[in-house]
Structure 1
Amino acid sequence: MTIDPKDFIVGPDATIADIDLHQETFTTADGRRLTDERADAIARRTANLTPGRKSLGGDGSVSPVLQFRTPRKREVEALAQELGIRPSELARRALDEYLDNHARGA
């Protein structure tokens, strides 16, 4: 069974309704039937999630975000792919290296 993520896009006209899982059958992405118990377990696991990656500090805090633009995006993406990392990881490494070698007062 192939799942197409486009089938799960929620548009601006979407409505949310309570359903009775004893009357209606819903199957989760892993192919199992959704029950009240499984829905509650999923809700408990996802209740405190923060969008984005795990804390970079390792303490569970939300890592600050820094965004920038570059005309060399394709080069960054190609090198990151070659290294087997995400472009954001390559940017973090490059910035850390630069700051370690050039930061004033360090």
Structure 2
Amino acid sequence: MTDSSERAPTSNGVPVTDELVDRLAAEAEAGYDVAELRRRGGRRPLGSAPADVVPVRLDPELRAALAARAVADHTNTSDVIRQALRAWLDVA
């Protein structure tokens, strides 16, 4: 094994030691109950199914207006676009 002082800490700052590596390896080798695993991180789901990415070209003026609206609404441009489409297409 490498010297523990050369290893980067885990994402929450816990130092990676030989003991931690051995404990995690033993846990993994014993297997995990999939029903007990929980989803961690990642993007929150949108709607009833996985969302699609739809590329759209915007002229500079429209892009600037979109960015300004997102700042004014304390949100991001994707949310502004989704809200506008829902209103224009009259869908929930």
In the alignment, structure 2 segments of 5+ residues that lack a partner are 29-36
Which letter maps to 1:75?
Answer: A
**Corresponding position: 1:84 with 2:47:** no
Following superposition, the deviation at residue 94 of structure 1 comes to 0.3
Which letter maps to 2:81?
Answer: A
* Structure-2 separation of matches of 1:26 and 1:53: 26
In the alignment, structure 1 segments of 5+ residues that lack a partner are 1-19, 102-106
Greater per-residue helix proportion: 2
Q: How does 1:5-20 map to 2 (within 5 A)?
A: 20=1
TM-score when normalising by structure 2: 0.58
CA RMSD between the two structures: 3.3
* Structure-2 separation of matches of 1:64 and 1:27: 35
* Structure-1 separation of matches of 2:77 and 2:86: 14
Using CA pairs below 8 Å that are at least 6 residues apart, which structure has the higher relative contact order? Answer: 2
Q: Which residue of 1 aligns with 2:12?
A: 30
Following superposition, the deviation at residue 45 of structure 1 comes to 6.8
Q: Which residue of 2 aligns with 1:6?
A: none
Q: Which residue of 2 aligns with 1:93?
A: 83
Following superposition, the deviation at residue 26 of structure 1 comes to 2.5
Q: How many residues align?
A: 72
Which letter maps to 2:57?
Answer: R
Q: Any idea what SS the aligned residue of 1:93 has?
A: helix
Moved over 4 A (4+): none
